[in-house]
Amino acid sequence: MRRELLFDCAPDWIRAAVVEDGVLCELHSEQVGSTKATESLFYGRIEQIRPSVGAAFVNIGLDRNGFLPLDELGDTPPKCGDMLIVQGAARQETEGKGLRLTARINLAGKGLVLVPGSSGAHVSKKVKDPQARAQLLEAAQALCPEGFGLIVRTASQDVTMALLEEEAQALLRQWKEAQRHAAGMTRPGVLMERLPLDRRLVRDMAGRELDRIVTNSVESAGAFAQMQRQGLIPETARIEHFAETEQLLFDAMCIETQIERALKKRVWLPCGGYLIIDRCEAMTVIDVNSGKMILGRSTEDTALRVNLEAAREVARLLRLRDVGGMVVVDFIDMALPEHREALVRALRDAAKADRAQVKVYGLTQLGLMELTRKRVHAELHRQLCAPCTYCSGTGEVLSPDEVARRALYAVRRKAISGQRGPYLVRLSPAAAQALSKRVCPPECAVYALAVPGRHAETFDIEPVDPAAGIPKGAVRLVERMEA
């Protein structure tokens, strides 16, 4: 597999794309100088304690208070006004919720993670080889400072003991500096900002095969070259500066078109099948359809081929869209148990490329695949899209016939209260046409007037001014149905 990192750097914004074999698999974006993010350290003050939701709300100097689980504060009951060091975790701040916080600090480097207040050494679960795990655990135990925990990341497998020791000391200095900074603060605020997106992503990808890093920034290219000399980037990775003289970087690499496709509800598969992706409040639901796929020897063979291709695409789209929480996939039904087992294996194998934790629970009795993906960042749709102001994000509006019925019902309500009209109803053109075909209430003249540009669901009812007369273009409703 050929893996590349592409960085589109602007003065106030940076975007990063992870591309595998020419296909966009991850997209990250970040405003320069933003503190509303995971990994940043904050000095916060507890403002509210809510045992009913098991959380404390902490002022960290941002627009909204952060959300801190009470079970992370130990046995000592917290009090409002207490000051403490916390870290952004789990997800970025969204429109309705503040930043999720943790009191269990993790300072991440390329090969190590320092955990203040913990104890013992641990090795990443992604290191599978028993001999390698034993060697790394022995090294971590030798490096672990007293009163701290130390986690060895997968990238440590190719790093010398001297570099690991140097990184452990650097992380320890970071923590002591954050403590000194907090001791001098009198109000909530940022203690330590996380690394910029480009440096952080290169650091987190260090344990994986990396063929090329391309950036449109001369400064970033120089920083990457320096990191490579320090052993933080594999020597085999090529670092290139892309001069945007004739074409922009993401256009040259066909990234923009792939971003547009990633936001679509319907995603086509190379075999001719397609996925329908629905985002719900509680979960994400994906439906797999055979579509134009007609090459199988039988319906079972067709279902298997479409499902296996869909499994790989589902795993990629979950990464790309940064979907978190519960996911249910309705694959095409298959009768043979071995085919169902092969589908579960295929999805699990495809999910191994995801840096976030993915758990595939298997197929239910109804043939639905259940899985979860750890929520880390805001979903791609939340980052790039906003709810439709016309339909309030539902994707639907009332039909013209229903709007006409509601308008006529409102007229009847006025008529029964003694207001006999005549009435002028202003509606959208489609609703006005539907209303003009309805029968008006007895002894109450009603006129429908189309107003171009009016919202499809709204209408106004007003009595006709005798002096002004009936407006031009208004259509009177019939008083009874024709025989």
Q: Give strand pairing partners of 115.
A: 149
Residue 270's CB: how many other CB atoms inside 10 A? Answer: 8
Q: 73 with 176, same domain? A: no
Q: At what angle do helices 255-262 and 299-321 cross, to 10 degrees?
A: 110
Residue 391 belongs to some domain of the structure: no
Identify whether residues 306 and 375 lie together within a single domain: yes
Residues 270 and 377 in one domain: yes
Residue 376 lies in a domain: yes
pLDDT of residue 132: 85
Number of independent structural domains in the chain: 5
Task: Find which of 127-131, 232-236, 402-406 is predicted with most confidence, using mean pLDDT.
Answer: 402-406
What is the arithmetic mean of pLDDT over 196-200?
84
- Examine the domain organization and report whether 62 and 76 are in the same domain: yes
Cα separation, 354 vs 347, in Å, equals 11
Q: Encode 297-331 in three state secondary structure.
A: CCHHHHHHHHHHHHHHHHHHHHHHHCCCEEEEEEC
pLDDT tens digit sequence for 170-181: 899 999 999 999
Last residue of a domain, one of 134, 153, 188: 188
CB 216 within 8 A of CB 242: yes
One-letter amino acid for residue 266 of the chain: R
The reported pLDDT for the residue numbered 36 is: 56
Average the pLDDT over 88-113 and give the result: 77
pLDDT tops 90 at residue 464: no
205 within a domain of the structure (yes/no): no
Can you give the pLDDT at residue 483? Answer: 44
| Final residue of a structural domain among 243, 261, 279 | 261
Percent of the chain beyond pLDDT 90? 44
CATH (domain of 220): 3.30.420
pLDDT value for 125: 82
93-107, 151-165, 261-275: the lowest-pLDDT one = 93-107
CB atoms closer than 10 angstroms to residue 138: 12
Range of the domain at 429: 400-476
Least confident of 157-161, 243-247, 393-397: 157-161
Same domain, 100 and 111: no
| 276 and 341 assigned to the same domain | yes
DSSP per residue, 86-126:
EEE-SS---SSS--BEESS--EE-SSEEEEET--EEEE-TT
Number of Cα atoms under 13 Å in the Cβ half of residue 184? 7
Where do the DSSP E strands lie in 238-305? Answer: 238-241, 266-268, 274-279, 283-289
Q: Indicate the pTM of the whole model.
A: 0.79
Q: Which residues lie closer than 8 Å to 69 by C-beta, 6 or more apart?
A: 54, 55, 102
- Do 278 and 314 sit in the same domain of this protein? yes
- 242 domain-assigned: yes
Same domain, 232 and 313: no
Asked which of 70, 85, 104 is the last residue of a domain, the reply is 104
Domain-embedded: residue 198 = no
| Signed CA dihedral, 243, 246, 249, 253: sign only | negative
Distance CA 44, CA 202 (A): 30
Angstrom distances, CA of residue 358 to CA of 176, 308, 325, 456: 34, 18, 10, 43
18 and 54 belong to one structural domain: no
Whether 197 maps to a domain, the answer reads no
- Residues 139 and 152: their CA atoms lie apart, in Å, by 9
Lookup result for tokens 């203690």: 191
Exposure letters 432-450 (e unless 16+ CB within 10 A, then b): bbbbbebebbeebbbbbbb
Nearest residue to 317 (alpha-carbon basis) of 351, 360, 365, 283? 351
Rounded CA gap, 266 and 247, in Å? 29
User: Do 247 and 282 belong together in one domain?
Assistant: no
249 close to 214: Cβ distance less than 8 angstroms:
yes
Percent pLDDT > 70 in the chain is 95
Query: Does some domain include residue 200?
Result: no
Task: Encode pLDDT of 421-459 as tens digits.
Answer: 789 999 999 999 999 988 887 778 899 999 999 999 999
Q: Is 482 within the bounds of a domain? A: no
> In the chain, what is the straight-line distance between the N-terminal and C-terminal CA atoms, in Å?
74
Report the candidate in 28, 24, 27, 2 with the shortest Cα–Cα distance to residue 267: 24
Give me the pLDDT at residue 109, please.
Answer: 85
Structure-token pair, residue 2? 């050929």
Q: How many CB atoms lie within 10 A of CB 43?
A: 26
pLDDT tens per residue across span 382-426:
888 888 888 888 889 999 999 999 999 999 888 888 777 789 999
- Output the domain CATH number for residue 62: 2.40.50.140
Question: 436 and 417 in one domain?
Answer: yes
pLDDT mean over 300-315:
93
* Sign of the torsion angle spanned by Cα atoms 323, 328, 332, 336: positive
Q: What is the dihedral of CA 252, 255, 258, 262, to 10 degrees?
A: -170
One domain for residues 335 and 294: yes
Band of the pLDDT at 466, cuts 50, 70, 90? Answer: confident
Question: What's the angle, vertex CA 91, arms to CA 85 and CA 97, rounded to 5?
Answer: 85
